[in-house]
Amino acid sequence: MKERATAGCKVRILLMHPQNAAVPQYLNPAIKLGGHGDLVEDMNRTYALFEELAREQPNLEVRRITTGCLHEQIVRHESTMLVALLLYAEGSARIPLLECTAASPLYHAMLADFDTLWKINSAS
């Protein structure tokens, strides 16, 4: 990401805020992956990493979601998108990964969801 940003690509990273009311609902007690405290620590470490990169690279911007909720992880590169669906019944190692192109309705739906969350969670 840092290399792409240095080359002029705008990189936007959107992460859930630990205080978002939806965060505890991501945890399925039947899946032993740590608890709420572990998740909050991971979220804060991840944000700190990307925030540091954003300070070094003006083309990289990171925001936290306090309003709304992510139900997927999205990686977009030019006209291709990977979408990892966040499922309550599955651990992160078993979530489905979808690939789509800009011609797909899924691509446009995911892009619109990301853009909406980006706009309503302005930079702090």
Strand partners, 80: 77, 101
Asked whether the predicted pLDDT for residue 93 surpasses 90, the reply is: no
Task: Dump pLDDT digits (tens) for 8-19.
Answer: 999 999 999 999
Task: Tell me the whole-structure pTM to 2 decimals.
Answer: 0.86
> Rounded CA gap, 53 and 18, in Å?
20
How far apart CA 71 and CA 87 sit, in angstroms, is 8
- Contact between 72 and 83 under an 8 Å Cβ cutoff? The reply is yes
- At 88, list the tokens: 């309550």
Per-residue pLDDT reduced to its tens digit, 30-82:
887 665 668 889 999 999 999 999 999 999 999 999 999 988 999 998 899 99
Q: Say which amino acid occupies 29.
A: P
More confident of the two residues 121 and 91: 121
pLDDT at 121 over 90: yes
